[in-house]
């Protein structure tokens, strides 16, 4: 039983999580704690995006608006109602409700359209959110943004590290359950062939809207965590830049795998960090997005399943060849 559960990938995964859990006690570096915390937060964000792109096959260019709603909810509640746990809880509740409502409305209005139009409309709607945040200065302080205090216990970087790690693992488990449920199977069917799924009697719009609500809520939660670690918020959390980041992470890591989001987030955060340091050597490293843009185009064209998906294919092929070899030897 234990042997069957502990396949090689699962053992590796477990080891990585154990390593991450003891890391703060071994490595005494504030810098790395913060960097890894960012990796966890963006991993949640990327996994939520994977529900849309990888499991349902819909391309949204407005995912940052849910991230931004989460970040702004925490910031505004902390700013207005004091830095107590009560208001933090209320902010998280508000995030869940708001992201669910917004994603349901946007989904109901736009998901019946062709993929082209959907991508475009989500881009437009998230643009509207940026405009609202810029103009509604009384609450959002416009483009400059504002800083705010958070509950004292959460100011400790190690605490935030563990919270974010914990949230990432929980998200991974919940979303994994979700995608392996009968509901998730229908989403896969929609990704593969929407018309056929519809003719099998499934209300595809309903499934797609629920998928976008799930994705929106988890993106909102990652936004909450982001605001808590930064203790500052401005309109960039709603910008296309964050959508692009999450797109790169999901695509390069591997769509339709969930783990791809985690790997992509780690890869992009770390490489970004090293390349920005290299900017002193040569200015081209300042524009690290060129590199990622090119990698991204190549991945979409040549490895549409990303790193994790391609590795899995390679693994499956190897096992198949090995099996065939054994069979010819025995038979």
Q: Closest distance between other proteins and the C-beta of residue 202, in Å?
A: 20
Is 104 a residue that touches other proteins (CB under 8 A)? Answer: no
- Nearer to other proteins by Cβ, of 74 and 111: the residue is 111
Nearest of 163, 180, 135 to residue 228 by alpha carbon: 163
Is 119 a residue that touches other proteins (CB under 8 A)? Answer: yes
Q: Say if residue 271 is exposed, middle or buried (CB neighbours under 10 Å; 0-12, 13-18, 19+).
A: middle
Is 120 a residue that touches other proteins (CB under 8 A)? Answer: yes
How far is the C-alpha of 45 from the C-alpha of 243, rounded, in Å?
10
Rg of the chain in Å (alpha carbons): 21
**What number of helices (H) and strands (E) belong to the chain?**
15, 2
Q: Closest distance between other proteins and the C-beta of residue 302, in Å?
A: 9
Q: Say if residue 142 is exposed, middle or buried (CB neighbours under 10 Å; 0-12, 13-18, 19+).
A: middle
CB 81 within 8 A of CB 150: no
- Nearer to other proteins by Cβ, of 191 and 222: the residue is 191
Q: What is the DSSP letter of 255?
A: T
Q: Closest distance between other proteins and the C-beta of residue 233, in Å?
A: 21
Is 121 a residue that touches other proteins (CB under 8 A)? Answer: yes
Cβ within 8 Å of residue 320, ≥6 positions away: none
Tokens found for residue 142 = 């416009």
Give the other-Cβ count within 10 Å of 254's Cβ.
27
- Nearer to other proteins by Cβ, of 80 and 287: the residue is 287
Q: Closest distance between other proteins and the C-beta of residue 190, in Å?
A: 12
Spell out, one character per residue from 207 to 246, where the chain touches other proteins: x when CB under 8 A holds, - when not.
Answer: ---------------------------------x---x--
Q: Closest distance between other proteins and the C-beta of residue 122, in Å?
A: 11
Residues 284-313 close enough to bind other proteins by CB under 8 A: 284, 287, 289-290, 292-294, 296-297, 300-301, 304
Q: Say if residue 154 is exposed, middle or buried (CB neighbours under 10 Å; 0-12, 13-18, 19+).
A: middle
Is 12 a residue that touches other proteins (CB under 8 A)? Answer: no
Residues 33-62 close enough to bind other proteins by CB under 8 A: 57, 59, 61
Nearest of 255, 267, 266 to residue 305 by alpha carbon: 255
Is 116 a residue that touches other proteins (CB under 8 A)? Answer: yes
Instruction: Determine the size of the site formed for other proteins (CB under 8 A).
Output: 36
Is 247 a residue that touches other proteins (CB under 8 A)? Answer: yes
- Nearer to other proteins by Cβ, of 120 and 205: the residue is 120
Q: Closest distance between other proteins and the C-beta of residue 297, in Å?
A: 4
Buried b / exposed e across 17-52, counting CB within 10 Å, b at 16+? Answer: eeebeeebeeeeeeeebeebbbbbbbbbbbbbbbbb
Instruction: Give residues in contact with other proteins (CB under 8 A).
Output: 57, 59, 61, 109-110, 113-117, 119-121, 123-125, 127-128, 131, 135, 240, 244, 247, 251, 284, 287, 289-290, 292-294, 296-297, 300-301, 304
């Amino acid at each position: 039983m234990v042997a069957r559960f502990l396949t090689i990938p699962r053992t590796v995964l477990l080891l990585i999580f154990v390593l991450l859990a003891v890391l703060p006690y071994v490595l005494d570096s504030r810098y790395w704690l913060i960097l890894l915390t960012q990796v966890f937060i963006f991993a949640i964000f990327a996994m939520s995006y994977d529900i849309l792109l990888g499991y349902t096959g819909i391309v949204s260019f407005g995912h940052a608006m849910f991230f931004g709603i989460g970040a702004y909810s925490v910031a505004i509640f902390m700013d207005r109602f004091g830095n107590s746990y009560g208001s933090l809880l209320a902010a998280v509740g508000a995030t869940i409700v708001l992201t669910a409502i917004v994603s349901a409305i946007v989904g109901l209005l736009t998901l019946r359209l062709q993929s082209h139009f959907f991508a475009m409309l989500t881009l437009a709607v998230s643009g509207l959110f940026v405009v609202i945040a810029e103009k509604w200065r009384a609450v959002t302080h416009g483009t400059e943004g504002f800083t705010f205090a958070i509950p004292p216990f959460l100011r400790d970087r190690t605490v935030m590290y563990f919270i974010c790690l914990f949230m990432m693992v929980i998200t991974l488990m919940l979303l994994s359950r979700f995608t392996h449920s009968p509901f998730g199977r229908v989403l896969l069917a929609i990704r593969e062939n929407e018309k056929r799924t519809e003719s099998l009697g499934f209300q595809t719009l309903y499934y797609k809207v629920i998928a976008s609500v799930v994705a929106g809520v988890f993106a909102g939660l990652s936004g909450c965590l982001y605001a808590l670690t930064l203790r500052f918020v401005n309109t960039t959390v709603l910008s296309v830049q964050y959508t692009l980041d999450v797109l790169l992470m999901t695509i390069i890591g591997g769509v339709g795998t969930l783990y791809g989001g985690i790997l992509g987030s780690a890869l992009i955060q770390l490489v970004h960090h090293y390349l920005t340091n290299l900017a002193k050597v040569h200015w081209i490293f300042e524009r690290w997005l060129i590199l990622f843009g090119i990698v991204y185009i190549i991945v979409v064209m040549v490895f549409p399943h990303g790193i994790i998906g391609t590795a899995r294919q390679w693994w499956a092929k190897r096992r198949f060849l090995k099996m065939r070899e054994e069979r010819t030897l025995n038979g």
